Amino acid sequence: MSGTDRSRKTALPPGPVVILVRPQLGENIGMVARAMLNCGLSELRLVRPRDGWPSATAEAAASGALSVLESAQLFASTEAAIADLQRVYATTARTRGMVKPIVTPNQAALELRHEAAAGRRTGLMFGPERSGLVNDDIALADTAVTVPLNPAFASLNLAQAVLLVGHAWFLAHDETPPRRLDTNAGAPASKAELVNFFERLEAELDETGFLFPPEKRPSMVRNLRNMFQRMVPTESEVNTLHGVIVALRGKKGKGAKRSGG
Amino acid sequence: MSGTDRSRKTALPPGPVVILVRPQLGENIGMVARAMLNCGLSELRLVRPRDGWPSATAEAAASGALSVLESAQLFASTEAAIADLQRVYATTARTRGMVKPIVTPNQAALELRHEAAAGRRTGLMFGPERSGLVNDDIALADTAVTVPLNPAFASLNLAQAVLLVGHAWFLAHDETPPRRLDTNAGAPASKAELVNFFERLEAELDETGFLFPPEKRPSMVRNLRNMFQRMVPTESEVNTLHGVIVALRGKKGKGAKRSGG
């Protein structure tokens, strides 16, 4: 899906630094840059990337997220890469043989948001593709982050791990309503327009004898009204419905306004 | 990160069918299969894949998620692919020129969970890599799903879109505690063990004259106790702390139990 709209500015606060420890493939670094920018993260640090830096394969895989790659910083050690940060989260599938607090990405996102609000610099560490972070790197972090996944198939590539953790961070700042009706700038119909349509429909159906017998008419009317309420039509769509009635009744010239579509 | 543990069974309910409409690259179909299995989704349907089916490139890209590819079903049209489903969500970056309810992946996940609990068959539709779903396909769906992303950089590849929507579904069934302490089977220290350590530390510090002057001693003790409470040590770690005190004091043979490591 491509919904990029460069005219829209992000109002995101500065996010955590993403630290890739000894990444192996340039392609994965590029895909990480893309996933970061998808989630509004821009600050990338690399600890001894195996295939050198800068990387043409990283640029090719970044799908346009070059700003992230161009500003990426190189470090010789994990300690150096996190030296200026106050809180560091280490992404790992398991904390073997260590006693460590472990959070979900959603919990990490809430905590990172709180740390940032308190003026603290934060980081998210990710390990090499093949092996993940070693315990000595994890011991440098405050907290481990483990992405809940199907335990029978939990292998995630590096960019996918960054995407899932980064997206949890993005959502912690996102105010998209969970459910909305996209009317594409069309105005929702007012209740007066809707009731006008209901009465029109019911009058036409009375003429045809559909709302019969009389003792059932009230519940039939309520059912029809509920059906069309669920449609949540726009003004224009109510006009379309009037047009549909006219067409179905075959009464030319008796329609209300012209159909909207 | 790789945390696969094939001995662990998933207790996930049947998830939505994933329908890829006219997917272009076999590689992407393979990566979709992997992302699906990461999230506990197993039922894949393909509407007219451009490069034919089965696909060796899909298998190569699936990183072991072959069960999803082997059971994938082929369809000649979107209508046929969703015919037996009662609720269908269409993933799209935008609903251009259409009046459509739009939900976030988290909201879709909650609704899909509810639909499944009511015994209904559900599906998640994804469009071709380059263009996404066409409006005629979206009009076949109940609801659109749009992944909230950085509006300045919202280009997501097909497998990433499946991963984010699928992972929201997975999390709607996941009971991982947001924050926990992984003690790797070590027992948390009891409060008696902790108080015993506190008193040992304070007695040693009294001997050195560190807890001085006397009127400050109570607050210094409270601060120290809070510092070690935040450590949330295990039994074994409390023993280590006793050993550290012995070592720092240089009092051989006076230690409590041996250090735990």
By the CB < 8 Å criterion, does B167 face chain A? yes
Inform me whether the pLDDT recorded for B259 exceeds 50: no
Alpha carbon A249 to chain centroid, angstroms: 46
The percentage of chain A sitting over the pLDDT mark of 70, rounded to a whole number, equals 92
Q: Give per-residue pLDDT as tens, A88-114.
A: 999 999 877 889 999 999 999 999 999
Contacting residues of A for B167, CB less than 8 Å apart: 147, 149, 164
Distance, in Å, from the CA atom of A114 to the CA atom of A143, rounded to the nearest integer, reads: 15
Instruction: Show me where the domains of chain A are located.
Output: 17-171, 183-260
Contact across the interface for A153 and B4, Cβ inside 8 Å: yes
Find residue B89's DSSP bridge partners: B124, B143
CA of B145: which chain A residue's CA is closest? A179
> Using the beta-carbon criterion (under 8 Å), do B39 and A150 form an inter-chain contact?
yes
**Cα–chain-centroid distance for residue A23?**
26
- Whether B74 has a pLDDT exceeding 90, the answer reads yes
Reduced to 3 states (helix: H, G, I; strand: E, B; else coil), residue B102 is strand
Cβ–Cβ < 8 Å for B69, B58? yes
B20-35 per-position pLDDT tens digit: 999 999 999 999 999 9
Q: Which of A114, A83, A99 is nearest to B186 (CA)?
A: A99
Q: What is the pLDDT at residue B4? A: 66
Termini Cα distance of chain A: 28
Q: Is the pLDDT of residue A197 over 50?
A: yes
Looking at residue A255, its pLDDT comes to 45
The reported pLDDT for the residue numbered B134 is: 95
**pTM of the predicted protein model:** 0.89
Length of chain B: 261
Please give the Cα distance from A157 to B65 (Å, whole number).
13
Position B258 scores a pLDDT of 45
What is the rounded CA–CA span in Å between residue A178 and residue A174? Answer: 11
The share of chain A scoring above pLDDT 90, in percent, equals: 85
- Dist CA B44 CA B112 (whole Å): 16
Place of tokens 């017998």: A213
Confidence of residue A260 (pLDDT cuts 50, 70, 90): very low
Confirm or reject contact between B237 and chain A (CB < 8 A). Answer: yes
Cβ under 8 Å to A: B residues 31-60: 34-35, 37-40
CB contact set of B25 (below 8 Å; sequence gap of 6+) = B50, B51, B57, B129
Predicted pLDDT at A70: 97
Please indicate if any CB of chain B lies within 8 Å of the CB of A72.
no
The rounded distance, in Å, linking the Cα atoms of A186 and A236 is 7
Here the ipTM equals 0.87
Q: Given A106, A176, A234, which is nearest B178 (Cβ)?
A: A106
Mapped onto helix, strand or coil, the DSSP state of residue A180 is strand
CA distance A63 to chain B (A): 8
Quote the tokens at residue B72. Answer: 């994938």
Interface of B with A in 143-162 (CB under 8 A): 144, 146-157, 160-161
Give the pLDDT confidence score for residue A8 in this predicted structure: 54
Measure in Å the smallest separation between the Cα of A223 and chain B Cα atoms: 20
**A119 in B contact zone (CB under 8 Å):** no
Query: B10 and A150 in contact by Cβ < 8 A?
Result: yes
B92-136 residue pLDDT tens: 998 778 899 999 999 999 999 999 999 999 999 999 999 999 999
CB B179 within 8 A of CB A89: no
State the architecture of B17-171 in CATH terms.
Answer: 3-Layer(aba) Sandwich (3.40)
Q: What is the average per-residue pLDDT within A49-67?
A: 96
**B240 touching A, CB under 8 A?**
no
How far is A198 from chain B, CA to nearest CA, in Å?
A: 21
